[in-house]
Chains A and B, each alone.
Chain A
Amino acid sequence: MKYFGLILASLWRKPLRTSLTAATLLVAFLLFGLLEPVSQMFSDSSNLAGESRLWVSPRHSISDMLPVRYHQQIQQIEGIDTAAHQTWFGGVYIDAISSSAFTRWAVSAEEFMQINSQMVLPQEQLNAFINIPTAAVVGRATAERFGMKLGDKIPLTADIWHNEDGSHWTFDLVGIYDSAEGENADTSRMLINYDYFDEYRIVGKGIVSNVVFTLDDVERSASIATEIDSMFSNSQMETLTSTEQDYLLNQLSQVGNIGLIVRAIMGAVFFTILLLTANTMSQAVRERLAELAVLKTLGFQNQNILLIVLAEAFLLSLITAAIGLGLAAYLLQYSEYIVPQITTLNLGMSSVMTGLLIAVALSLIVGLPPAMQATRVNIAAALQR
């Protein structure tokens, strides 16, 4: 590519202008790289096949809850290995910021720990958790963060579930679990015993947030999900059986069509970038029509000129797209720290391809008009200053 030096030099004619354009493009592609996986996640049709762990939750609203008897009913369905239930405890630990570092759940301890086999607890700690009503366990991350030790009393202030003393609950830390999924896996949750919690809460006795179960045969996940949902279709609370991720996404979706919102934002960003860059590009070409006329004088053909001007646009947008998408892929590694329950967001191959395609389209839309203008320049007139 012998024109490379020429193209690079043209881009670098006004370093500030080029840098600003590049920065704008880079931000756009970074944003695309971060948001596209999010919108992808929302638009991915849920596929239960091969899922070994499913969630049963209220079908219509995130504020609804399930009767605890659903747990036993589900447990009895043929093909289900183990079913557990969990209830969002919420509450405040120390203060709002500390509280947001981990979630707190009241669970049916024995089954729950069985289903969540990735949560590893020494046997005697597990026994203590199951047998001591006031027991609590926390993950390694939370224990280390707050300096919690076995035997500690952990005070929680209720915001939903009050007891006879008001809002004050105290639990005994009997276990600290690690994750079998490696160091980066989430070990933040705190678990307490449902039975104790249910006995002492003064409202809403006998209701749970979700029933979670594992299957004997992963091939049957879809049919069992249908069976469960139809089983409760005419009862007091209809259910929706899905994967954990779909459950969480479904909760978010009740806030609004997030996939669509995300796409709309990206569309607006790129349209703005398009206008800005197109303007800058054509200005840059207009400024050097005389120079391009010189190149034509020297024997550069129209297609050479077209190529040189277009290549500038391509170079700028492809380089910024590569950096922006690369940066997004890098940052997405940390997405699990933001929303631990959602499987790590990934910049998939298809998103990268879409990003690069946008870069190509952008270059054409932005570069073609000034490039055409450049080929039409009349040498004699342009040189006549």
Chain B
Amino acid sequence: MSKTLIKISGVSKQYLQGNTPVPVLENLNLTIEEGDFLALMGPSGSGKTTLLNLIGGLDQPDSGTIDFDGQCINAFSSSLLTKWRSQQVGFVFQFYNLLPILTARKNVELPLLLTALSGQQRKFRADTALEIVGLAERAEHKPGELSGGQQQRVAIARAIVSDPSLIVCDEPTGDLDRQSADEILNLLQVLNSEHGKTIIMVTHDPKAARYAKHGLYMDKGKLVSEVVSEIVDEAEMAEARQQTIEEPGT
């Protein structure tokens, strides 16, 4: 845990509701180390998704800078940002967002269509990614034929297939039962610890946050506390987090 991967300085973001600007993020500062697994918690509407979208390059801040590996990504043109996204970031959403018409393998292959890889190489990489998430034998299945947990694993395979350094997850277990959620979280943990992926995960499930290395609490567009630094005693941490989050959580 040495190198800074993401440095957010003085970032503000507001949305327009009709004609009135609604500030969502205000002068936010945050540094994320390479190899971190960060859980971002906080009540609904506190700006977690907005922040995640800025970090993932899906949106641009109104002011402030976001540096990724020393590059200021908010200075990128929209097409450069899109290209950067395809190379550096993997996305995992609450509702999986797989294309229902494509098989699991074809879904995982999608990001590779943007590369110069041959069909053979794409298939090989997609199969490797599916193997990592433990779904190799479901490659030919369509999303509709898979359980929620399995679909989320396909989504994770898609997120890692182009070998990005950063994975952002927005409520990845929000739509799953406890057991599937634990499987997904274990998988993310493995990706973090064994494959060295930096992971930022938005969640309002304290049990989910337990899998992360760090926890961060957000309220009304501000980072109010660093809940966890290092997980020393897992049970104790869970307790602590429970107390902190119970009130604003779902």
A residues near B (Cβ < 8 Å) are 2-3, 5-6, 9-10, 12-13, 290-291, 294-302, 304, 379-380, 383-385
Contacts and interface: CB of A to CB of B under 8 A. Distances in A.
**DSSP majority for the A interface?**
helix
Interface of B: 49-50, 53, 56, 58-59, 79, 82-83, 85-87, 91, 93, 95, 97, 99-102, 106, 110-111, 113-114, 119, 122, 158
Given A299-B86, A302-B79, A9 B101 contact: yes
Nearest to B158: A298
Given A5-B106, A9-B106, A384 B49 contact: yes
B231 to A, nearest CB: 30
Contacts of B110: 6, 295, 298
Contacts of A304: 114
B95 A6 contact: no
A381 B70 CA distance: 28
B101 A297 contact: no
Contact of B95 (A2, A300, A301, A385): A385
17 contacts: A2-B113, A6-B99, A6-B102, A6-B106, A9-B101, A9-B102, A296-B82, A297-B91, A298-B85, A298-B86, A298-B91, A298-B111, A299-B86, A304-B114, A379-B59, A380-B50, A380-B53
B65 to A, nearest CB: 19
Nearest to B162: A299
Given A5-B106, A6-B102, A294 B97 contact: yes
Nearest to B56: A297
A272 B95 CA distance: 39
B86 A294 contact: no
Nearest to A295: B110
A302 B78 CA distance: 10
B114 A299 contact: yes
A384 B119 CA distance: 33
B221 to A, nearest CB: 16
Contacts of A296: 82
Nearest to B111: A298
Given A9-B102, A301-B83, 20 more contacts: A2-B113, A5-B106, A6-B106, A6-B110, A9-B99, A9-B106, A297-B58, A298-B114, A299-B85, A299-B86, A299-B111, A300-B113, A379-B53, A379-B58, A380-B49, A380-B50, A380-B53, A380-B59, A383-B58, A383-B93
